[in-house]
Structure formats: structure tokens, C-alpha cells
Amino acid sequence: MKTRGTTARMRSTVARWSNRMLRPFGARLVPLAKPWDEHFQRWIAKAKQNGMDPNDIGDAEWADDPLPHALERHYLPHIRPESRVLELGPGTGRLTRHLIGRCREMVLIDYSEFACEFLRDYLRGKNVSIHQVSTPRLPMVRSASVDFAVANGVFEHFDPEETLWWLTEFHRVLKPGGTAALNFANLMTPAGTEWLKKWSAEPGSRCIFRFYHPEMMGALACAAGFTSVRITTQESWVAYAELTKAAQAGV
């Protein structure tokens, strides 16, 4: 049986080769949309009509994601003006826009071609590199070259093995002593189980969210090599993980 990752990789290879063959005729395949692209497209269209930033519209639509709290408590404390920051799954840059002026450089990674293209325009002139990926691998990022890795609203969609692959890659690219911070869907609160019910539309269909017990996230972080794991839970369906790589090998 093919995995979703294998299918995505095959699609991307076929699309790349097809586009190479179509180039002499001035044509190209339009990329397959990813699940959140229609939200991003709607925010962008609405913002254009009203002369707004699409991310203000996104913040209002996704007000159930406590981003201001996460920024203040879990993300910004890890950023210094000299930091190189990697963000996984920036979407339209709802979080990115709060980080980019506070660090030296950002590396943005998303599997959505639409999001990557939007960000190239939105962040033009900023010290940022943007990479579209189809697997949990970052060959374009050197080992031990990143001070802080962050992902908001991303691990809540990953199956455990995908979480492990990404955490392993975060651990590789972080400098010794560097930190990764992310939020995830916590099943172990009443709000978490309500969130699962709300998003499990019909028997037989898969919920777009993946839920974790906080200890499960901790176990995956340890398996990826992190030596310091801080999990913060609260009443809401969202929990946070702040994971630090040992300052010296083996410590």
C-alpha cells in the first residue's frame, strides 16, 4: 500500500517532469492544492478587496488558536536579534510576521506551493529563504546551523511517525543548545476531546487533526534526540512543546 508521503513524492516528481516537457510550449501544470490553501486564498482575496493584510483576516478567522499567548510565552523568548530561525508550515506568515523583524534570518519551509509563492511576494526584501518540500527532509539546511525552530498549527496535523521525522530533522539542523517550539492538539482535556468531536465530521472520514497525549509528544521528542523537553498544557485543546538540543554531544 502506498503511503500519503510516497504519493505526494510521486505527484511532485511527475509534475516536475511534466512542467519541464511543457515549458517549450509556454504551459505548466497548476499544483494540487493542499488542505489549507483555500483558507489562504480566501484571506488574500478578502484582504485585496479591503486593503488589509491577509494575516489580520486569518487571525480573526482562527481566533481559537491562541497565537498572541503562544508568541509571548513559548516562541519569542527563544529569539535573539542574531538568531537564525527556521519555521515549518508558515502558511501565509501569520506567525512569521511577528518573528522576522526580531531575528537575523528566517528559513521558511512549507509543502504548499501556493503558500511559498505568496510568501515570496509578501516577504520581498526581507532576510528570508523559502523552500517548498514534499517530505520531512531539509537537505538545503546545514546541520547545526539554526538557533530556533518553530511550528505553529502544524504538528496538530501530523501522524506520530511524521512528527518523529520532523523532530529528528529539527534536532539535526539545530545548533547545540538550540530550541524547537511547537504546539500540538492535546486530547487529554475536555476541550481536546470536544475539538476531536467537532472535527470528526462523519464516521469513515479522517479528522484533519491528530491528537496526542502530552507524554506521547515528550516520548517522540526524546526519540528524536532532544535532551530537555518542556511540555506545557492548559485548559484548551492546544499544548506546547519546547525542546532543547544538548549543549554538548552526549550531554
| Residue 157 near ligand SAM by CB under 6 A | yes
Region of 46-54, 87-95, 198-206, 220-228 interacting with ligand SAM (CB under 6 A): 87-95
Q: At its nearest, how many Å lie between ligand SAM and the CB of residue 86?
A: 12
Q: At its nearest, how many Å lie between ligand SAM and the CB of residue 23?
A: 26
| Residue 115 near ligand SAM by CB under 6 A | yes
Among 154, 174, 187, 241, binds ligand SAM (CB under 6 A): 154
Dihedral, CA of residue 47, residue 71, residue 109 and residue 166, to nearest 10: -140
Region of 15-23, 46-54, 105-113, 119-127 interacting with ligand SAM (CB under 6 A): 105-113
| Residue 94 near ligand SAM by CB under 6 A | yes
Contact 154, 181 (CB under 8 A): no
Among 83, 152, 163, 244, binds ligand SAM (CB under 6 A): 152
Residue 232's CB: how many other CB atoms inside 10 A? 16
